[in-house]
Amino acid sequence: MRTAFLDGVAVTSGHWIVADDDGVLVIGGDRREELAETAARIQSVEGRQSERMRAGTSLRDQLDFAEYRRRQAQDPELTLRGYLAQTGGAIET
């Protein structure tokens, strides 16, 4: 089996490569369904967020950014991505 390296990551014919403006993802072919489900969930969440922004609710308010900062003050290890995972938000695109 031939192997290529993408920024130090070994890639073979069994991998899938997916990319967007934020970066490149290399996954095993056996994880295609998981990737599709995750992408659909993110698209759905972000679609609802976009609709609420068009209706006048800022993303900062939707994500309850003030609550994130309060929790982060108590737990400096808490990332925005982790907070959003806990609260059902997304900012993937």
pLDDT per residue over 15-56, tens digit each?
A: 999 888 878 889 998 999 998 898 888 888 888 889 999 999
Residue 93 has pLDDT above 50, yes or no: no
Q: Is the model's pTM score more than 0.75?
A: no
What's the distance, CA 6 to chain centroid? 21
* Residue 7 pLDDT grade (very low, low, confident, very high; cuts 50, 70, 90): confident
Q: Using CB atoms within 10 A of its CB, is residue 72 exposed (0-12), middle (13-18) or buried (19+)? A: middle
Spell out the domain ranges in the chain: 4-87
pLDDT value of position 73: 97
Residue-level pLDDT at 92: 59
| Structural tokens at position 51 | 């609709």
Q: Are 33 and 25 in contact (CB under 8 A)?
A: no
